[in-house]
A and B are shown apart, each in its own frame.
Chain A
Amino acid sequence: MSDDLPEEFDLIVVGTGFTESCIAAAASRIGKTVLHIDANEYYGDAWSSFNLEAFNCLLEQPNFTLRNGSYIWHGPESKEENEEMEIVSWTRETLLEKSRRFSLDLSPRVAYSDGELVKLLIKSNICRYAEFRAVDHVCILSNDELVSVPCSRSDVFNTKMLTMVEKRMLMKFLTACNDYKEEDELSFRGRTFLEYLQAQRVTDKIGTCVMQAIAMCDANTSFEVGMQRTNRFLGSLGRYGNTPFLFPMYGSGELPQCFCRLCAVFGGVYCLKRSLDGITQAEQSNELLVSSAGKTLRAKQVVCAPAQLPASLARHYGELKPHISRGLFIAASPLGNEELNKGGGGVILLRLLAEEGAREACLLQLAHYSGTCPEGLYIFHLTTPAISEDPSADLAAFTAQLFQANAPQILYSAYFTLTAQTIPKTSTAMPICCTAAPTYELDYDAAIANARDIFDKLYGEAEEFLPRAPDPEEIVVEGEDPSALREHSLPEDLRAQLQQMDIAE
């Protein structure tokens, strides 16, 4: 393949993770020429999804982004070994046969239906490249059992977990939060959300629902932040599904690719398997000379994912430290009772606490309708901020809670650490912008804020960040008769007439 890559760009983006892809799309969208490269042969970097085989390979070969990887098969190796069992069950062989039906996320996320990601996708029209599934249940653990937190009026009415008095209490509390305005409740300024909750004299059960699932707070969360989070939850209800959350079909790794496609549609050039080897400032100009795959490219600006920095630069960004500890489990049965998993549902979100609330983890259960695993299987994603180089030890306190009572039939388990650099605040010596590695968050708020910041830094706040992209029908190619492209909006009979005229011509 001849390498007829152009040599000059306005912007070179290195790494195709979520944040970098956002920036690439935004720059391309305002007419900048963009080259987007990635050292890997896949899109997404630390935000990618993999099939089972590729995922295992990744765990075996640590890289800058991922380390401490390990996996274990729990089921039998093949059918022969399993003859005496009557129920047809999954074996290592059958799982690997269906390897491509898996889409295993490194950084699984959900999106609030009215959150930053959804708003950005709609505003930019990138939503046309993505499909979602509603998260079926937001749960809490109550006496070692998964219980669905009531999200809608009918949920509250139907739930068996609350008494009549509690139902009224919960509705009253949530209505008060929904009606809350900044000037209200001055007395709780500077105090914690927990104190506010306690002052409302709610029962323990309701307290747990609110703290763990709705406001997602800990004992130290301030009143204001708790209120904000509660309202983010409430504001995202009733939009798409039964819970406020959406999960991208085929996994979170799809999202960076949606942004990349927009970038490409607006002229961005894509090259996977191409790394940034070095970078220098050009003499007598502000341009940067970027060496990549034996070529020197010129760019006005460079944005780079920290894990894809060349070694010569990486040292300026500090050491790679464990950032997030991840566990990934494939099981033949879901967590929770049948009620939680009926009708092909089974996408469940659960926030777990340990050490008296000092540590937390997020569990995401995915079923086959999310497009991430074969029918009959379930994936559990566990994520917690790393406290050591041992992801399985970091998660032990949470797996113990999950898999103790009513343990699901786990066939495969994997652990790994996602790293991040300790970027010093003064890295201005470097002529390039570095994005942040994925942080511990439910939605994409921090990543989007990071992308927007860098975009503003590059192009100034006057340029809009990802304005609406026109629909294909609205694009008129130079040299074409624009009226022809408007055929779509014509009624059937006129369109036919126009076509007749075309033929006559």
Chain B
Amino acid sequence: MATRKKSLLKVIILGDSSVGKTSLMNQYVNKRFSNQYKATIGADFCTKEVVVNDRVVTMQIWDTAGQERFQSLGVAFYRGADCCVLVYDVTAPNSFKNLDSWRDEFLIQASPRDPEHFPFVVLGNKVDLDNRQVSTRRAQQWCQSKNDIPYYETSAKEGINVEMAFQTIAKNALEQETEAELINDFPDQIRLNSENNRPGNADNCQC
């Protein structure tokens, strides 16, 4: 039974529709912002290599693919997440109120081993807009009440705080690994693709 350290971090982004989940991901990974995507089409997941504590890890950031729109995210989406990013829109109070249910939903669906210490990060997005409705204080209070979740105010459009927020996301996801000496829950998983996974073991050839 191998206890392998993970070099791939799965990060999922949750939050109400149109709070800017896809834009944040795109700004971070592609350094681009586009007003084009209304609802999320074509947004799947992005990968980016990051250096955390002198270690190179691949961060895989998963978008909801729009399935959150009618509360229809399946449990498969939550499997094996190492960090959960909760996003709300600072100009939309409802999206802030819903953070509670998104957090609960994550803990139920992903059922992490140590729910008390599972790394969340909260992002208050769209700070570039004028009509702000949720105060920093209110958001910080909520984060403190939930076991001190790190909180960042971002603008995917202007690229404000995005890099820093995701650096924290990567760091916390990895830290929880070292803390609990977390092992890969299920070693020897198989990913299908056309080239890999062919064992070099000549012994396994057809009878």
Instruction: Let me know if A234 and B207 touch, CB within 8 A.
Output: yes
Q: Hey, which chain B residues are within 8 Å of A121, CB to CB? A: 192
Pairwise interchain contact B192-A249, C-beta atoms closer than 8 A: no
Q: Is the CB of A478 within 8 A of B36?
A: yes
From residue 23 to 60 of chain B, which have CB atoms closer than 8 A to chain A?
26, 30-32, 34-37, 41-47
- In the complex, the answer to whether A257 meets B76 with C-beta atoms within 8 Å is yes
Q: How far is the CB of A198 from chain B (nearest CB, A)?
A: 20
Contacts of A502 in B (CB 8 A): 31
Segment touching B, from A86-94, A240-248, A412-420: A240-248
Q: Is the CB of A272 within 8 A of B192?
A: no
B116 at the interface (CB under 8 A from A): no
Query: Given A1-B71, A101-B111 in contact, is the A127-B206 Cβ separation under 8 Å?
Result: no
- B180 → chain A closest CB, angstroms: 16
Contact B207 A152 (CB under 8 A): yes
Given contacts A261-B67, A265-B42, A477-B36, contact A133 B188 (CB under 8 A): yes
CA distance A153 to B203 in the complex (A): 6
How near does chain B come to A271, taking the closest CB pair, in angstroms?
4
Quick one: closest B residue to A242, CB to CB? B204
Q: Could you tell me the distance in whole angstroms from the C-beta of B28 to the nearest C-beta in chain A?
A: 12
User: Is A9 on the interface with B (CB-CB < 8 A)?
Assistant: no
Separation of A122 and B191 alpha carbons in the complex (Å):
10
Within the assembled complex, what's the spacing in Å between the Cα atoms of A273 and B71? 9
Contact check: which of B185, B189, B190, B207 meets A153 at CB < 8 Å?
B207
Q: Which of chain A's residues have a CB closer than 8 A to the CB of B79? A: 249-250, 254, 371
In the bound complex, do residue A270 and residue B76 qualify as a contact, i.e. CB atoms below 8 Å apart? no
Report chain A residues within 8 Å CB of B203: 152-154
B69 sits at the interface (CB 8 A): yes
Rounded to whole angstroms, the CA-CA distance of A66 and B62 in the bound complex is 34
Contact digits for A467-494, partner B, Cβ 8 Å, 1 yes 0 no: 0000011010111110011010000000
Residues of B within 8 A of A154 (CB): 203-204
Is B20 close to A, CB under 8 A? no
Contact A265 B43 (CB under 8 A): yes
Closest chain A residue, CB of each to CB of B76: A257
- Give the residue name and chain of the A residue nearest to B49 (CB): A492
> What separation, in Å, do the CA atoms of A129 and B74 have in the docked complex?
12
* Residue A235 is within 8 A (CB to CB) of chain B in the complex: yes
Chain A residues 1 to 26 lying within 8 A of chain B, measured CB to CB, are: 1, 3, 5
Does residue A458 face the partner (Cβ distance < 8 Å to B)? no
Interface residues of A in 334-389 (CB under 8 A from B): 343-344, 369, 371
Closest to B94 in A: A1
Query: CB-CB contacts of A305-345 with B at 8 A, as 1s and 0s?
Result: 00000000000000000000000000000000000000110
Interface status of B145 (Cβ within 8 A of chain A): no
Say yes or no: A118 contacts B199, CB within 8 Å.
Answer: no
The complex places the Cα of A314 from the Cα of B130 at a distance, in Å, of: 55
Of the candidates A122, A151, A257, A478, the one having the most CB atoms from chain B within 10 angstroms of its own CB is A257
**Total residues of chain B contacting the partner, CB 8 A:** 49
Q: Which residues of A contact B30 (CB under 8 A)?
A: 480, 484-485, 487
A239 at the interface (CB under 8 A from B): yes
B152 to chain A, nearest CB (A): 20
CA distance A371 to B186 in the complex (A): 7
Q: How far is the CB of B113 from chain A (nearest CB, A)?
A: 10
B198 at the interface (CB under 8 A from A): yes
Highest count of chain A CB atoms <10 Å: which of B36, B37, B41, B65: B65
Give the docked Cα–Cα distance between A121 and B32 (Å): 31
Say whether B190 contacts A134, CB under 8 Å: yes
* Contact of A232 with B by CB under 8 A: no
Chain B contacts for A3, CB-based, 8 A: 70
- Quick check: B204 and A250 within 8 Å, CB to CB? no
B206 engages A234 (CB within 8 Å):
yes
Q: Beyond A239-B198, A240-B192, A242-B204: 10 further Cβ-contacts under 8 Å? A: A127-B193, A133-B189, A153-B205, A171-B207, A371-B79, A371-B186, A472-B43, A472-B45, A479-B34, A499-B31
Q: Could you list 26 A-B pairs, sorted by A, with CB under 8 Å?
A: A43-B74, A128-B191, A132-B189, A133-B188, A133-B190, A134-B188, A154-B204, A235-B206, A240-B197, A254-B79, A261-B74, A264-B66, A266-B41, A267-B42, A269-B69, A270-B66, A270-B69, A371-B79, A475-B42, A477-B26, A477-B37, A477-B42, A478-B36, A484-B30, A484-B31, A487-B30
Residues of A at under 8 Å CB distance from B? Answer: 1, 3, 5, 42-43, 100-101, 118, 121-122, 127-134, 151-154, 156, 170-171, 174-175, 178, 234-235, 237-242, 246, 249-250, 254, 257-258, 260-261, 264-267, 269-274, 343-344, 369, 371, 472-473, 475, 477-481, 484-485, 487, 499, 502
Q: Which 3 A-B pairs have the closest CB atoms?
A: A257-B76, A238-B204, A127-B192
